[in-house]
Amino acid sequence: MAELDTSSHDSGKKGPGVKKGKKLSTRVDLTPMVDLGFLLITFFMFTTTMSQPNAMNLKMPDDKQNVDPTKIKQSGALTIFLGKDNHIYYYEGENLKADLSNVQSSNFKDIRKVILDKKANTPPDDLFVVVMPGNASTYKNIIDILDEFSIDMVERYALVNKVDPQYEADISKLDSLSTQ
Amino acid sequence: MGRAKLPRKSTAIDMTPFCDVAFLLLTFFILTTKFKPDEKIPINTPSSVAAKVAPQKNYIMISLDKDGKAFLNSDREDVKTDAINILNKDHNLGLTDGEIHRLATMPIIGTSLQNLKAYSGLPTTALNDKLPGIPIQDTANNQLTEWMKAFVSVSQDLQGEDPENKANNLTIILKGDNLSKFPQFKNVISALTDNMILQFQMVTNPEMVPVGSELWRQAQNAAPAAKANG
């Protein structure tokens, strides 16, 4: 704070001609320094990266090795299609019907309940979730669904990265149905 | 009776402790801060509940931007140099040692193999998201596969030298943008799986575990148990 220098008023008793050096206060006004300090703090707080990016592990199956497909029990399978505009389609168990009548539509909010229901109704060793992303799905969709598995603690899942043209056609068909 | 006179107090506050605190905090932030790395290609990563911190050393990073363009980067210049040497030999790119050195020191590689020679002469300011990226668009000409092949062979050489040395274990990190589409991501993954890299990490932003979910419950159960043990 600015301080008034009042010391000169005390020197009234001196006779004429007696000159005394002005007593200066040794106190320094620290306000600007504090201002500067906090300005720099703010700057460093904004530029610093406190949160390190995290990494998610993904293991891909070896496609050169032939795995016996009958090892997966049909009853425990849940297949999830990722469509465009964050749409999800899924079907349980048996093979996909040609008219897609056993496919249900969902979204990223409701899929958790679907996965948990499936998990509750199947023996833990049989549960197997397959993700088939369509060509219109984004990277975010894939990460979100994989993240969903870790949230729901689904241990056996697979990301299909060689999408069959047939499935691709099915996904586009589902997309066009859902937008109607 | 005269009223008791209150001593007049100065309104000036002693700023010294305040100043001390300010500079203490300032020192803390200066010492702990690490500047955001200069990102040549802007990428908004999705978020996940994954708790593991992304590796900061000995990585090979594949970036996939929102237009589906792929870029390569690594913190290991020696690895990059060796990989470019292999590619140079395999594809007769005709790169000189000076050009290879310049490519290896570049923060990001984002062009086709055929253009590497011209690319090595680019100034740092030209390294931005306008680069063409490594061709991954179609499966027939997926040049990322060639790059990964070179990296795998470099990494095997390194491990052959000294398998105990942790610095020789290279991690593959995939950093994709929210908006990048699946077909490109698929080609990146096939580039990795074709070279028998079946395990890799994907960079995400940290996110809270949703309350009430199974993972959350497990964490809740683990916490009291850890307390009881400790």
Kind of pairing between the strands at B199-206 and B47-48: parallel
- Strand-pairing partners, residue B48, are B206
- B169-203 tens-digit pLDDT: 778 888 888 888 888 888 888 888 877 778 788 88
Q: CA–CA separation, A168 vs A82, rounded Å?
A: 10
CA atoms within 13 A on the CB side of A95: 5
Tracing tokens 């070896």 back to the chain, one arrives at A62
Kindly report the average pLDDT of chain B as a whole number.
79
A60 contacts on B by Cβ (under 8 Å)? 189, 192-193, 198-199
Other CB atoms within 10 A of residue A96 CB = 15
Looking at residue A14, its pLDDT comes to 52
* Chain centroid to CA B99: 25
- Strand-pairing partners, residue A54, are B53, B204
Q: What does the CA dihedral B48, B51, B55, B59 come to, rounded to 10 degrees?
A: -40
Do A168 and A134 meet the contact criterion of CB atoms below 8 Å apart? yes
Task: Tell if the CB–CB gap between A57 and B210 is shorter than 8 Å.
Answer: no
Q: What is the pTM of this model?
A: 0.72
- B135-162 tens-digit pLDDT: 777 767 778 888 888 888 888 887 777 6
Structural domain boundaries in chain B: 63-204
B138 touches chain A (CB under 8 A): no
Do B94 and B69 meet the contact criterion of CB atoms below 8 Å apart? no
Looking at residue A108, its pLDDT comes to 81
Looking at residue B17, its pLDDT comes to 87
Q: What phi, psi does B116 have (nearest 5°)?
A: -60, -35
Looking at residue B9, its pLDDT comes to 77
Do A59 and B189 meet the contact criterion of CB atoms below 8 Å apart? no
**Ranges of residues in chain A whose predicted pLDDT is under 50:** 1, 7-11
Higher pLDDT, B130 or B99: B99
B 58-77 → A contacts, CB under 8 A = 64
SS percent in chain A: helix, strand, coil, step 5: 40, 20, 45
Q: CA–CA separation, B144 vs A12, rounded Å?
A: 90
Higher pLDDT, A67 or B122: B122
How high is the ipTM of this complex?
A: 0.73
CA atoms within 13 A on the CB side of B112: 8
User: Per CATH, which fold does A74-178 belong to?
Assistant: Nucleotidyltransferase; domain 5 (3.30.420)
Looking at residue A13, its pLDDT comes to 52
Among chain A residues, CA nearest to B25: A41
Instruction: Identify the three-state secondary structure at position A31.
Output: helix
Handedness of CA A32, A34, A37, A41 (dihedral sign): negative
A46 touches chain B (CB under 8 A): no
Tracing tokens 């096939």 back to the chain, one arrives at B190
Structural domain boundaries in chain A: 74-178
pLDDT above 50 (res B230): no
Q: CA–CA separation, B3 vs B168, rounded Å?
A: 85
B 171-210 → A contacts, CB under 8 A = 173, 176-183, 185-186, 189-190, 192-193, 196, 198-207, 209-210
Looking at residue B216, its pLDDT comes to 79
Q: CA–CA separation, B135 vs B145, rounded Å?
A: 10
Q: What is the 3-state secondary structure (H, E, C) of chain B?
A: CCCCCCCCCCCCCCCHHHHHHHHHHHHHHHHHCCECCCCCCCCCCCEECCCCECCCCCEEEEEECCCCCEEEEECCHHHHHHHHHHHHHHHCCCCCHHHHHHHHHCCCECCCHHHHHHHCCCCHHHCCCCCCCECCCCHHHCHHHHHHHHHHHHHHHHHHHCCCCHHHCCEEEEEECCCCEHHHHHHHHHHHHHCCCCEEEEEEEECCCCCCCHHHHHHHHHHHHHHHHC
A26 touches chain B (CB under 8 A): no
Mean pLDDT of B99-128: 79
Higher pLDDT, B80 or A8: B80
Nearest to B40 by CA among B137, B133, B118: B133
Q: What phi, psi does A130 have (nearest 5°)?
A: -115, 130
Looking at residue A96, its pLDDT comes to 67
